[in-house]
Structure 1
Amino acid sequence: MPNKLSLSAYLLWAMSVLAAAASDDVRIAVYWGQDAREGSLRDACSTGLYAYVNIGFLSTFGDGRAPILDLADHCDPPSGGCAYLATDIASCQSAGIKVLLSIGGGTLGGYNLSSPSDAQGVAAYIWDNFLGGTSTGTGTGTGTGTGAPRPLGDAVLDGVDFDIEAPSRYYDDLARNLASLYRGDARGRTYMLTAAPQCPFPDASLAVALGTGLFDHVWVQFYNNPPCQYAHGDAGALRSAWQQWTTSLPSATVFLGLPASPEPDAADGGFVDADTLASQVLPAVEGAPNYDGIMLWSRSYDKDTGFSVKLQGILQNRNSDKKRRIYIIVGAAVAGVLLLFLLICACFLCHKKYRGTPPPEGSEAPPAPKIEPPQ
């Protein structure tokens, strides 16, 4: 009989191709927290548009400073006014969305690390106040004191995002200390490290930290940087920088970071409209083996422009055409294999019917009787 295992393997392959064709939506990371007009965190997650939400920013830390979480007009962390976000965060996480604390941001002068021990203290503060630890400090990152309320209530975030935009040392030490604390989580929970470097390669602030290989996702900012951003219909500089970034980060997945609005207050250039992104830019970048999606600045601008809604709609239409072609090709191939299988079965049965069953191996047919001629 024909090899049933080969046929089964082929059918499994066909089903895997169809399944891959059915899961083509782009994964989007977004920043939330710097504009009250963007709506609540729960609302952002309930759109179903985002796979990751970075809460930004822990904008003051290090070098003896008391850490400050700045969420613009959403709430006031020092007074405990942001504890209500714990329920929003839980809602996002229950929907499978990863919620991270982003540290740094564009407000320069409010953060830096002065030494490896300073990095260790900041890591301890972040762990105890936003992740799997217990708040036991006064907010200086020293881990000493009578205890302070966690700024986001009892929420346990999914990791830390490094949006460091001022050159400084010891962020590699911060990453190592956080990774060590992650591994020691008593509940066995997993946490992520992510980073948002600028697109000029290598990044002036995060090159050494990224060299540790500890980061899970890297969303490179292809905006505010004319030498490597999309401009005036030309994606050449972007493609060149993208290749440098993806080849330099074999252990991380890489996201294409873009502004969600062409408005000057969103970014200093780098905007790509949804049609152009889907038709020209994404085909040039998604071939990288560690490509994983796009990052948008920010939820506020995305809400204003509907950028991610437009992009997902365009991609769904594009992928519908792609799926239709794949269905036709795979369907024809499966039909061909099944027809070949039936022909082989028919030939086998005909052979068995008209030629009989062959004698067992090693046996001999009896000799024909000898007929003597008449005398």
Structure 2
Amino acid sequence: MKTQTLAALSLAAGAVNAMPYNSQFPKHTIKRASDVGDGTDVAVFWGQSTGDLADVCAEDSFDTIIMAFITSLNPPKLNLGKDTGSASDAQSSQSGWELFDGTVAGANGKSLADQITDCQGAGKKVMISFGGDSRYSNATFGSADEAKQAADYLWDLFLGGTGSQDLRPFGSDVILDGVDFDNESGDGSYYKDLVTELRGKMSSNSTKSYYLSAEPMCSFYDQSDSSIPDEILPQLDFVNIQFYNNEAQGIGGSDFKTTIQGWAKKFASVSPSPKLFLGVPGGDGAATSNIQSADDIKTTIQSVRNMNITGFGGVGIWDAGYAMKNDGFPAAVKGALA
């Protein structure tokens, strides 16, 4: 589970179905971004703890910032914790929608849209995560058409689409770098339709690279849970596995090595395979177990590197607020990957 401030609740990640997978995607349609997950990347979540995005982007150790969360796409709803603002007139006119105008200046004098622009201008990737705790989000779909409509919303509201300019939370000039899937409902029905539709839109745009990722809990590599179904894995650029909130299988646990090697074996059976990211808690309060100090996380990362896992991409941290309060933690993670 992920500890966060969304309605003072804790969000858990979705699970990956471990059944053997044979890709049914036409391989010529899969166009994925290649400049992510070279083994030294650090991704960090932001939006559900204290701190401004500008401060997170100023941290040299972070390469990718994943904003959390879009809590629904049927209809679209966005919650970024303390940075959740007020809806514009156009957004307010959409029945049931819960978006906000991120182009309005915040307490620090800059709008969230401007902070994203500055962050991307500094060479960081800025993505957005869809899902969260299934008690307080809706990440399921009732039909293929509904899933494809969700892909349209993602494209037009956050990525390169132009179909809803006056409804975009960050304005027409801000184009995010991708989407992360944190479905924890146990039901991944029609996710193939969602991801195929969205990846097709991304691939049709030759001027920008886009990324897709997912957030399963570490315990599900050998279990049958369809939150993040195997059939979408070839479309994902990276999978950030949460090795925490699980004393045995998480980092520092007795079964950690067996578990991460199980995930590596799983990904090796997928073509093309996503990069494997080691998901870790940033510090006290970020998880119920598997919290590590800066010194301990360096040892953990080095042990993973010594396993020579094919496709190891880097580390993902939940989340920025906790990590930046954990003395030296971001730099320790980045340094251990160098």
Query: Under a length normalisation based on structure 2, what TM-score does the superposition of the two structures give?
Result: 0.74
Whole-angstrom distance in 2 between the partners of 1:28 and 1:134: 31
Equivalent pair of 1:195/1:218 in contact (CA under 8 Å): yes
The CA deviation string for residues 145-174 of structure 1, in whole angstroms up to 9 with x for no partner, is xx6420112310001001112111222221
* Cα shift at 1:86: 2.0
Give 1:224's aligned residue. Answer: 245
State the superposition RMSD in angstroms: 2.3
Give 2:181's aligned residue. Answer: 162
* Cα shift at 1:226: 3.6
286, 289, 313: which one pairs with 2:310? 289
Give 1:188's aligned residue. Answer: 207
Question: Does residue 147 of structure 2 align to residue 124 of structure 1?
Answer: no
* Cα shift at 1:75: 3.0
Whole-angstrom distance in 1 between the partners of 2:193 and 2:219: 23
* Cα shift at 1:192: 0.7
Q: Which amino acid is the alignment partner of residue 278 of structure 1?
A: K
* Cα shift at 1:227: 4.5
Give 2:48's aligned residue. Answer: 34
Whole-angstrom distance in 2 between the partners of 1:212 and 1:27: 20
Give 1:257's aligned residue. Answer: 279
Q: Which amino acid is the alignment partner of residue 113 of structure 1?
A: F
Q: Which amino acid is the alignment partner of residue 219 of structure 1?
A: N
Q: Is the partner of 1:236 in helix, strand or coil?
A: coil
Whole-angstrom distance in 2 between the partners of 1:201 and 1:128: 32
The CA deviation string for residues 31-59 of structure 1, in whole angstroms up to 9 with x for no partner, is 11112x22x21221111121110011001
Equivalent pair of 2:45/2:318 in contact (CA under 8 Å): yes
Q: Which amino acid is the alignment partner of residue 240 of structure 2?
A: W
Whole-angstrom distance in 2 between the partners of 1:30 and 1:70: 17
Whole-angstrom distance in 2 between the partners of 1:166 and 1:82: 28
Equivalent pair of 2:129/2:181 in contact (CA under 8 Å): yes
Alignment CA distance shift 1:227-1:170 (3 Å): farther
The CA deviation string for residues 289-323 of structure 1, in whole angstroms up to 9 with x for no partner, is 2112111111111122135345158649xx7xxxx
The CA deviation string for residues 47-84 of structure 1, in whole angstroms up to 9 with x for no partner, is 1121110011001223xxx2111011113252443123
The CA deviation string for residues 74-112 of structure 1, in whole angstroms up to 9 with x for no partner, is 132524431232221121112221110100023534212
Alignment CA distance shift 1:58-1:303 (3 Å): same
| Superposition map of 1:1-375 within 5 A | 26-35=40-49, 37-38=50-51, 40-62=52-74, 66-76=75-85, 78-79=87-88, 80-83=100-103, 84-106=111-133, 108-111=135-138, 112-136=140-164, 148-154=166-172, 155-168=174-187, 169-185=189-205, 188-202=207-221, 204-209=225-230, 211-230=232-251, 234-250=252-268, 251-263=273-285, 266-279=286-299, 281-286=300-305, 287-312=308-333, 315=336
Q: Which amino acid is the alignment partner of residue 54 of structure 2?
A: R
Q: Which amino acid is the alignment partner of residue 80 of structure 2?
A: L
Whole-angstrom distance in 2 between the partners of 1:212 and 1:221: 16
Whole-angstrom distance in 1 between the partners of 2:294 and 2:256: 16
For the pair shown, the structure with the greater C-alpha radius of gyration is 1
* Cα shift at 1:236: 3.3
Alignment CA distance shift 1:207-1:68 (3 Å): closer
Give 1:351's aligned residue. Answer: none
Equivalent pair of 1:130/1:156 in contact (CA under 8 Å): yes
Structure number with greater CO (CA < 8 Å, separation at least 6) is: 2
* Stretch of structure 1 that moved more, 108-117 or 53-62: 108-117
Whole-angstrom distance in 1 between the partners of 2:232 and 2:157: 27
Whole-angstrom distance in 1 between the partners of 2:147 and 2:194: 5
Alignment CA distance shift 1:78-1:210 (3 Å): farther
Whole-angstrom distance in 2 between the partners of 1:245 and 1:210: 15
Q: Which amino acid is the alignment partner of residue 128 of structure 1?
A: D
